[in-house]
Amino acid sequence: MDIKEALKELRSEKKRKFIQTVDLIVNLKNFDVRKEALNTFVSIPHPNNKKICAFLTKKSNLVDTITEADFPKYKEVKAMKGLAKKYDSFIAVAPMMAKIATSFGRVFGPLGKMPSPQAGVITKEDDASIKAVLEKMEKVIRVRNKEAAIKLAIGKEDMEDKLLADNIETIIKELEGKLPRGRDNIKEVLIKFTMTKPIKIMETKK
């Protein structure tokens, strides 16, 4: 089914009391997840208002901030998981990375929430540098798969269909460039809203 037709069908489903996330599911083939699992990033042209938190040496007016003095608040696993759930992404100033890994890594690592040198590490702690990383993070989506499927949140249902379609097409193209055998690794692509069943928008020949 065409992307815009699929979005129209998803929008005809029962309305929910919250703005649903638009999820992209890419099922893979000819892919050894033990040897070829991805841990990378893709960029989208139209961001979807991510909730971002920063690990900084001092409080910032630009972003919710956690300083080293705040670390004791999150020493319990439950508190750490609550923090990870509250935000879509975390960024950090480079000198704090080792301490963040020590204090938060056991929870943030498996959840894919650790700030990454590829996207999310601030080299200089000033407003211009923080703002630049925030703008970059708005358009970046982390790709990590432990199974033969990639699941990504690519937007919200209150975004225009054209913007969602642009994001979907961009991600598929980027994934083709990152998968070991490109398009030959893609079995099918589906989209869904948080509370709907997925709809197939692409299937490759077997």
Domain that includes residue 93, residue range: 52-138
In 3D space, the residue among 164, 171, 162 whose CA is nearest the CA of residue 193 turns out to be: 164
Which CATH number goes with the domain that contains 87?
Answer: 3.40.50.790
Kindly list the averaged pLDDT for each block of 10 residues, start to end, along the chain of length 206. 94 92 96 92 89 96 97 96 94 96 94 86 94 91 92 93 96 96 96 96 83
The one-letter code for the residue type at 15 is K
Nearest-5° angle of CA 11, CA 16, CA 20?
70
Q: Tokens 């998968």, residue? A: 179
**Local structure of residue 22 (DSSP, 8 states):** E
73 and 91 inside one domain = yes
Could you give the C-alpha distances from 116 to 45, 108, 196, in angstroms and in order? 21, 11, 32
The span from the CA of 64 to the CA of 55, in Å, is 9
Which CATH number goes with the domain that contains 161?
Answer: 3.30.190.20
57 and 133 inside one domain = yes
Q: Are 49 and 137 in contact (CB under 8 A)?
A: no
> Model pTM?
0.78
